[in-house]
Amino acid sequence: MMIKAIAVDMDGTFLDTTSRYDVQRFERIYHQLCKKQIKFIVASGNQYYQLKSFFPGKDAEIVYVAENGAIIGENQNLQSVSQFSSTFVQTLLSVLLTNDYTLEFIVCGVKSAYLLSSASQQFKEFAKKYYYQLTEVSSFNTLPDDVFVKIALDVEVEKTNSVVKQLNVQFDGQLVAVASGHGSIDIIIPDITKGSTIAKLLKKWQIMPDELLAFGDANNDLEMLGLTKHSYAMEQSSPQVKRTATYQAPSNNNSGVLAVIETYLD
């Protein structure tokens, strides 16, 4: 069966550990994808504005599934797929601020991401790397005028699993907390994942799930990898990702995604 769409996670998958990729090699591949009318989907927990900064001049062709599926960028149009209610965000933030999770967090809106001006300098530097539209606020007592799609937490690595479990139990049915690697936790909208959003796009494009080629490394990629038999776990993936994916790709530090795509194009 011919591949008609390719979905790639970014950190730990498409990008190497220095957040780069082989631009010249990708340009050659991208030219072939456009020629064959194969859709290229960038699917990440990261912000839309940050994702498109990696592919200048390609907004008309590349489809962005950002914030773990809550936002779609297609044909230079930004669409919010789903959102948390402001009331729930307020409740959740008060719990995060009062409970002893020893964490820092970012509230992700469609217009911008928001963090407290009292956050540590180290966390601010981390946030700048992943959020191109970033606003500091003195307090979350009054929420900014925006639509909220995700809350990103940063916790001590060894506490990740317990915080994920605690939040999922405490807010069962209202949120899904998922580890996205290295002490990062994404609080996402129930039933909205990279996989569910990509499935809707495939249906709209009249592409069968097994005409999708997908790559990922962390647990927020599981639903996306589960869509297709042409799924690849990166070399340094979580055990669950390796169990879910059909195949294993070479390391992200060796352009593993590009190497696999080339075999399909050949």
Alpha-carbon span 93 to 60, nearest angstrom: 36
Residues forming beta bridges with residue 191, ordered by sequence position: none
Phi, psi (degrees; rounded to nearest 5) at 243: -75, -30
**Chain-centre distance of CA 108, in angstroms?**
12
Contact assessment for residue 64 and residue 73, using Cβ atoms and an 8 Å cutoff = yes
Alpha-carbon span 82 to 93, nearest angstrom: 19
3-state SS, one letter per residue, for 162-191: HHHHHHHHHCECCEEEEEEECCEEEEECCC
Distance linking the first and last C-alpha atoms of the chain = 14
User: Which residues are catalytically annotated?
Assistant: 9
Contact assessment for residue 164 and residue 80, using Cβ atoms and an 8 Å cutoff = no
Q: How far is CA 172 from CA 82, 169, 188, 189, in A?
A: 18, 5, 12, 11
Asked whether the CA dihedral 154, 6, 50, 20 is positive or negative, the reply is positive
**Chain-centre distance of CA 6, in angstroms?**
15
